[in-house]
Amino acid sequence: MPHADTADTCIDARHISKMYGRTSAVDDVTFRVQRGRVFGFLGPNGAGKSTTIKMLTTLVRPTSGDISILGIDAVKRPLRVRQRIGVVLQQPSYEPTLSVEKALDKYGMMWGVPGGTRRDRTESLLEEFDLAGVRSRRNEDLSIGQRRRVQVAREFMHDMDLLFLDEPTVGLDPNARRDLLDYLQNRVRATGLSIFYTTHILTEAEYLCDEIAIMNRGRLLEVDTPDALKAKLGDEKTIKIHLPYRPPNIRDLLSGMDGCRIEFGGDHRFGGGGGSRTGSRAAITIRSSESELVLLRVLGILRENRIEIEDLSAVPTSLEEIFLNMTEELKGQQGGPDAGAGGDGGGRRNSRRGGRRA
Ligand SMILES: Nc1ncnc2c1ncn2[C@@H]1O[C@H](COP(=O)(O)OP(=O)(O)O)[C@@H](O)[C@H]1O
Ligand SMILES: [Mg+2]
């Protein structure tokens, strides 16, 4: 990946990794974010989102790799980076006895914002974050959602070029959630602020972000615009083929297939411990954007090998499903309870992203 036009780049992360003991929290992740954009980091719990944010915001040192934030080397010059960014971490941080308005004001003071500006900003943030009604209430007496809103709002007390938000909508009700996303979008449009935003909710990333990186188990699976992700993945179909029994060599027979991802599974509906010789039937799940072609080839292979088919279906893969599948498959590969060698529990990719890319 070329790294020439650095003036437009606010985050340039190259091959960053973080090991905690033997846990690989982030594993060789490379991406760039352009200024004035909202970049979404989407992934389930444990994906490595928070670890990535902590490395980008200089709170955690990467085990290896390079990070440039707003053109500054974040590993070598963490303090210079911190002066230019805002960070809302996942864990709550508040002073229990401080009132909402004092909390905002104090935060502004910490950042050296002059008194008049602090008062103006406090007033508008109380309105914009729907906190005016609880302005005198102590932090410890707020609901979780209100506290979270204070935590996000106070970050806007100071000027910054780049804001990091780690799952800021957790604990917010749907209205507050939507309000926050709209507020962020408006700030980006009005001020050219850049945002790095993590979430485990696909629809949220789709709504807010210019670009989405999908992450799981420390690895980046995809980075693209929501539209491109849909275009790339949206015409994908999921083909399910059930066989009445499990041919021992089925994986080998289908192992050379390009342009698709194949999972092998099965159930015990026909065996159920009742002593049937074959025990379980087998399920083959194939995801491909060239589903007709792939289906013809699979059917050809099954016929050549005289493998009987019980039933077959093909449906469009939804973006939600794609996300779940991407992350679930990797769980299967990387040592979930069903991931034993040769077992049929874990999904397996034929090839990473199976040639869906040109
Ligand atoms: N301080 C730490 N010490 C040990 N392991 C950690 C630490 N922080 C995170 N991890 C591990 O790293 C992985 C990624 O965690 P995290 O970055 O918090 O993921 P996410 O924010 O996507 O849920 C997890 O397996 C987690 O248990
Ligand atoms: Mg996290």
What is the 51 CA–ligand 1 centroid distance (Å)? 6
- In this prediction, residue 218 carries a pLDDT of 94
Residue nearest to atom 16 of ligand 1 (CA): 48
- In this prediction, residue 216 carries a pLDDT of 87
40-54 b/e with 16+ CB inside 10 Å = b? Answer: bbbbbeebbbbbbbb
Q: Which atom of ligand 1 is nearest to the CA of 200?
A: 22
Q: Who lines ligand 1 at CB under 6 A?
A: 20, 23, 25, 43, 45-51
Of the residues 50, 166, 334, which should be mutated to test ligand 1's pocket, given the most ligand atoms within 8 Å of the CB?
50
CB-based contacts of 285, cutoff 8 Å, min separation 6: 238, 239, 240, 241, 262, 263, 264, 265, 347
Which residues, listed in sequence order, are joined to residue 195 by a DSSP beta bridge? 38, 163
What is the 244 CA–ligand 1 centroid distance (Å)? 42
**SS3 state of residue 49:** helix
Residue nearest to atom 2 of ligand 1 (CA): 20
- In this prediction, residue 58 carries a pLDDT of 98
User: Which of the 8 DSSP states describes residue 99?
Assistant: B
Handedness of CA 48, 51, 55, 60 (dihedral sign): negative
- In this prediction, residue 5 carries a pLDDT of 55
Domains and CATH numbers, the chain: 6-231 (3.40.50.300), 233-355 (3.30.70.1710)
* DSSP string covering 159-174: --SEEEEESTTTT--H
Residue nearest to atom 26 of ligand 1 (CA): 46
* Cβ pair 94, 151 in contact under 8 A: yes
**SS3 state of residue 123:** helix
**SS3 state of residue 232:** helix
What is the 140 CA–ligand 2 centroid distance (Å)? 23
Per the structure block, which two tokens stand in for 93? 């941080």
pLDDT in single tens digits along all 358 residues of the chain: 444 456 799 999 999 999 999 999 999 999 999 999 999 999 988 999 999 999 999 999 999 999 999 999 999 999 999 999 999 999 888 889 999 999 999 999 999 999 999 999 999 999 999 999 999 999 999 999 999 999 999 999 999 999 999 999 998 999 999 999 999 999 999 999 999 999 998 889 989 999 999 998 899 988 999 888 877 766 778 899 999 988 889 999 998 888 898 988 875 443 333 333 445 788 999 988 888 889 999 999 999 999 999 999 988 766 666 677 666 665 555 543 333 333 333 333 333 333 333 2
What is the 233 CA–ligand 1 centroid distance (Å)? 29
Q: What is the pTM of this model?
A: 0.73
Which residues, listed in sequence order, are joined to residue 295 by a DSSP beta bridge? none
Using CA atoms, how far apart are residues 241 and 296, in angstroms rounded to an integer?
A: 12
Using CA atoms, how far apart are residues 63 and 75, in angstroms rounded to an integer?
A: 11
For the chain, what's the residue count? Answer: 358
Q: Where are the alpha helices (DSSP H) in the chain?
A: 49-56, 78-82, 100-110, 115-128, 144-153, 174-191, 202-208, 226-234, 250-253, 291-304, 319-333
Q: Which atom of ligand 1 is nearest to the CA of 26?
A: 14
Our measurement of the distance from residue 247's CA atom to the centroid of its chain's CA atoms, rounded to an integer in Å, reads 37
